[in-house]
Chains A and B, each alone.
Chain A
Amino acid sequence: MDPAFSLAVRGALAVLFLAAAVHKARDFAGFRAVLADYRLVPGWAVGCAAALVVALECGVAIALPLTPQGPWPAAGLLGLYTGAIAINLVRGRRDIDCGCAGRTARQALSGWLIVRNVVLGAAALATLAPSPPRPLVWLDACTIGGAITALAAAYATLEQVLAAAPRLALLRGST
């Protein structure tokens, strides 16, 4: 994969992980409650697990653009989330908050979250594909910067759209 393309994807994913970590750290008590709601970690360990998740997200955000093997831990973390969501979907606990984007943008668990995580993970791993070396010129800086900004904004918008979807469905259903 072309280095500029690869850097743009890694950069966008790094922004995503950083934003997720900041959301969780700013409302740490809320995130602890969300994590406890998943019912995967024993009660006494929830605090530690929550802190660990935030630390891992920060670490992944730094490693992604800076180290060649950075996509592996990113995909691993996404896989972990996907597993946690899948277990709760199987348990039928669809109405708990996914904790994806802080408490302001509450989002219930759904199959879509699994699809999203798989797509994000695949995008991260795709940047590992070897690329013919090419000197990066100033235009690449524009491409990478623009792509990261646009993708991050589009992603944030999409999250809002999906968070609003069930409420809109309610509106549509009420007569």
Chain B
Amino acid sequence: MSEALLVSQVVLWTVVVVLACVVFALARQIGILYERVAPAGALMMQRGPSVGDVGPTISAEDLAGRPLTVGGPRSDRRRTLVLFVSPTCPVCSTLLPVLRSVARREGGVHVVLVSDGPGEHDRFVREHRVEHVPYVLSATLGLTYQVGRLPYAVLLDGDGVIRSKGLVNSREHLESLFEAHERGVTSLQDFLGRTGAASQ
């Protein structure tokens, strides 16, 4: 019996050490996750039309000269993502491939790129393979939404109501606009503020 106790003790300690190593490995992974996956939201500026308002309906022309209306109710009820970019803004270039994948995943979102001023818009569109996305040159749009810095995005729902908006520098920021809309909050900062207050 005492021998069985000894064996049991050795086995127990072995298992404890193995489990401790596994727990350590798990804790490390959680650390990385926590560090990296903390929600990052698009920075919302308190300027221009606010979230929940009906966005302005603006007529403009795309690069090929076709007339296009940005904002207002859409007959197909799809959401519209208006992304303000410029060929001279480096972050915009890194965001366009992301835009393609986000638009594909969010399905049924109508994307409009907006830019203004002189610049190599045609080359920009070709280089980033966004020929199929309407590309509008309109200073009015930027002024209406009071876009100060680029890239700036506004998400409109099917009725033309502004659902979220903000400065988008990364995939997380862009996704946060959709996330904010789905959660029914004005911005992820707002959401984090609320849950932070609730947990205190």
CB closest chain-A residue, reference B25: A161
B29 contacts the other chain (CB 8 A): yes
| Interface size counted on chain B using CB atoms at 8 A | 22
5 A-B residue pairings within 8 Å (CB atoms): A139-B8, A140-B4, A143-B11, A150-B19, A171-B36
The residue from B8, B19, B36 contacting A172, defined by CB atoms under 8 A apart: B36
Q: A172 vs B29: C-alpha distance in the bound complex, in angstroms?
A: 10
A4 contacts the other chain (CB 8 A): yes
B37 touches A137 (CB 8 A): no
A55 contacts the other chain (CB 8 A): no
A8 contacts the other chain (CB 8 A): yes
Q: A165 vs B33: C-alpha distance in the bound complex, in angstroms?
A: 11
Q: Output the least CB separation between B80 and chain A (Å).
A: 28
Residues of chain A in range 44-60 having any CB-CB distance to chain B below 8 Å: none
| Interface size counted on chain A using CB atoms at 8 A | 25
The residue from A142, A154, A158 contacting B8, defined by CB atoms under 8 A apart: A142
Q: A143 vs B12: C-alpha distance in the bound complex, in angstroms?
A: 8
1/0 contact trace for A156-170 toward B, CB 8 Å?
011001001100100
A147 touches B26 (CB 8 A): no
A146 contacts the other chain (CB 8 A): yes
Given A4-B11, A147-B15, A172-B36 in contact, is the A137-B22 Cβ separation under 8 Å? no
**Chain B: interface secondary structure?**
helix
1/0 contact trace for A93-110 toward B, CB 8 Å?
000000000000000000
B106 contacts the other chain (CB 8 A): no
CB closest chain-A residue, reference B3: A134
CB closest chain-A residue, reference B37: A171
- Chain B residues within 8 Å of A137, by CB: 1, 4
- Chain B residues within 8 Å of A8, by CB: 11
A2 contacts the other chain (CB 8 A): yes
Given A140-B4, A150-B15, A164-B29, 11 further pairs, Cβ under 8 A: A5-B10, A8-B11, A139-B4, A139-B8, A142-B8, A143-B8, A157-B22, A161-B22, A165-B29, A168-B32, A174-B36
B64 contacts the other chain (CB 8 A): no
The residue from B7, B18, B22, B29 contacting A2, defined by CB atoms under 8 A apart: B7
1/0 contact trace for B31-45 toward A, CB 8 Å?
011011100000000
Q: A165 vs B26: C-alpha distance in the bound complex, in angstroms?
A: 10
Q: Output the least CB separation between B9 and chain A (Å).
A: 9
Q: Output the least CB separation between A170 and chain B (Å).
A: 10
B32 touches A171 (CB 8 A): yes
CB closest chain-A residue, reference B24: A161
A143 touches B33 (CB 8 A): no
B5 contacts the other chain (CB 8 A): yes
A114 contacts the other chain (CB 8 A): no
Given A2-B7, A5-B7, A139-B8 in contact, is the A158-B15 Cβ separation under 8 Å? no
- Chain A residues within 8 Å of B1, by CB: 137, 139
B33 touches A168 (CB 8 A): yes
